[in-house]
Chain A
Amino acid sequence: MQLLILVMLGGLVGIACLLMPPRAARVATVASGVISLGLAVSLIADVTHGPLRFGFLRADSLSVVFVLTAAFLYASAAVYAIGYVNRSAPAGYQRRFLFGLNIFGWAMICAPLVDGLALLWVAIEVTTVVSALMVAVDRTRAAAEAAWKYLLIASAGLGIGLFATIIIYHAGTTVYGLSYDLTLNQMIAAGGRLDSHAARLAFVLAVLGYGTKVGLAPVHTWLPDAHTEAPTPISAMLSGSLLAVSFYAVLRYVQITQLSVGAGFVHTVLIVFGLLSLFIAAFSLLVQRDLKRLLAYSSIEHMGLLCLGVGFGAPIALTGVLLHILAHAAAKGNAFFCAGVIMHKYGTKDIGSIRGGLDKLPWTGPLLVASVLALSAFPPFGLFRSEFMIIAGGLARSSVMVVAALLVLITIAFVGLIRATTSTMFVPARPGTPAAALPRSEPSAWMVVPIVVGSLALVVLGIHPPDQVMALLGQAVTEFGER
């Protein structure tokens, strides 16, 4: 029943937003976000007894992790949007914005909850088209360019994803005959009996196709543009949950095909994609001049890390990966929210023009420093714990060289991130520049609240994650079939 409410609520509220006055729409959006988050949390307890099924819906521990991610960012973006969207903007624009935000959040909650690889593809395609519209919602030249590139590249990638879906269907015909439903239960149960040639092809195509949306190099080229030009709440959702939800699709393909294809092949492919993404992202981070672009490349870095974590093939690394997804959503959401506040304050995204952030923004300044440290996996934040687990798994199961390369690359990425942050936050604004004349204040309290909540979540995940959450992750790893 919660499943049904979860997959209806956001969509209905979104449509309702088009009809309501902006003020009511804002309230409805926040309510919908918070209720979705509550329902997602309540799912944690429900799936401990095995997967829930309801018609075309299915929830198991793995999908709940992603639902939590999506719902968390949906709720925080909804609160943040209250402060972000200009109240004096035309009512039509505000309605459209909230409609898009709701539908986008809703689509990302639905994707992990639908049962079957075909419906999963449909849901992910919906997230693509909705988010492409939202990237273009501000109607600037750059936004139109970014939206077009994003839509085209992501759709082409999903075209390959569709091909993967069809091939995996073919792989299952050896077990279930010509006509069957492609549900997750069936596919997971089929295990090693899938046609191995077809499963291997489907797996590679899925990594490439869905990988386009995850932002794996070399098919990541849309990601920095879209993240930079989208409105900030959407950037946060793109980075924290859209990438994660696409990664969920990759994980399902890994889960289904690894028995018939052989874990070695699966892990090698993932490690290659992961290292390449880390490499590209780490060196791109060093040269960025744009604050949101910096964070976008950091997302590519983290997605590469997730790929490596799965590629290591160790249960502890996989637990780390799932924890990482939760923590990364909070940290990257925070970082983008802070960037949005800074843009609001300084009127620019150029790292060279933003100075004295700690002085001018009493809350956001320190919170940005905290989020960047969290993204760089500093204790006591959740990402420290998750990266530690991933690396431990890598040392246990994989080659030392790979782990060493990983460590070197995330260190380079850290240098790039921290250099930009220190220059914007700690270096005081030179007298006479526009930045120096700004007053010391926060643009809106609504924009600070989600950042504070996110930071608390990060600290909790880092110091002592709730037992229920760790149990959920553990169960997901067991169900995943990782030994």
Chain B
Amino acid sequence: MEFSPVAVQAFQVGTIALCSPGVSGVIAKIEARFQGRRGPRILQPYYDLIKLFGKESLAPSGSSAAFLLAPIVAFACYLTVPLLIPVLTTYGLPLGTMGDILGGSLILALAAFAVAVAAADTGAPYAQMGSSRTTTFSAITEPVMLFVIFTVGFLTGTDLPYKLAATVTSSASQVVRPSHLLAAAALFLVILTETSRIPVESHSGTNEFGMIEQARSLEHSGPYAALLVWGSAMKQMILYTILLNVFVAPWGLAASGKPLLVAVAIVTLVAKCCAVGFFVTVIDNSFAKLRLFKITEFVAAAFLLAVLAVLTIYLGGG
């Protein structure tokens, strides 16, 4: 028996949607252990979501439809991206070619844009601050992503994430070439920024002045807040998946629709995401948060790596 490609594609979306709170839970647990706490249960994010879905939702007076629409738009975006990237399979799925790697990052940017608009719409100071900060920093992480994508283009001759995963697994010489490693490192730094991790933002802080991404959703409540929390868990897992299955470790993917292979692929993906989470937690606990004005330097480092990746491959063939 074999799943049809459409079914596998549904599994891709399902895996991201259903496993992402779990991955967040595992990371929170590891983090707590590092800090000498027992930490919440791994399933805690699911309970949180259930709780939030059961609550009533309020909107600030004077806010427009954009405020309530944004969580839904963002969530829809996060459901769309797994269609485009190799979450479970090594082969391209029917809808996989409807957008390339640039399209994927545009959809992610659309989600961020919707949330930022909603935050600006509230008129609340902290939400607006988060909105403006996020927009500022994404304006400088955006070029980094572009250079990473250029590198992918040079590496594979296409802009399809599937192709890069296939290229990386094709031989060891594709893994150790400097442009690939530099692009992966740059992407990792961007992911740290995008998932609000140290050294950019303290993940679990409650001080609004230090917040960047988290401040945006302060005004949302009830099911809308649940969608935003769930969405950011999905975003984290999507970014980890891109890093893992496209750049760093595209192994363990299903080569066909056999149920066993698909199941193995799901388990491997979750395990790999937890491993990345572990690594991120180590960084989280080893470095201090940067001052707001130093974040440009952090992003400049990512930019440096990405540009060097393009230089080495375009001018040096490496």
Complex: A in contact with B (CB within 8 Å): no
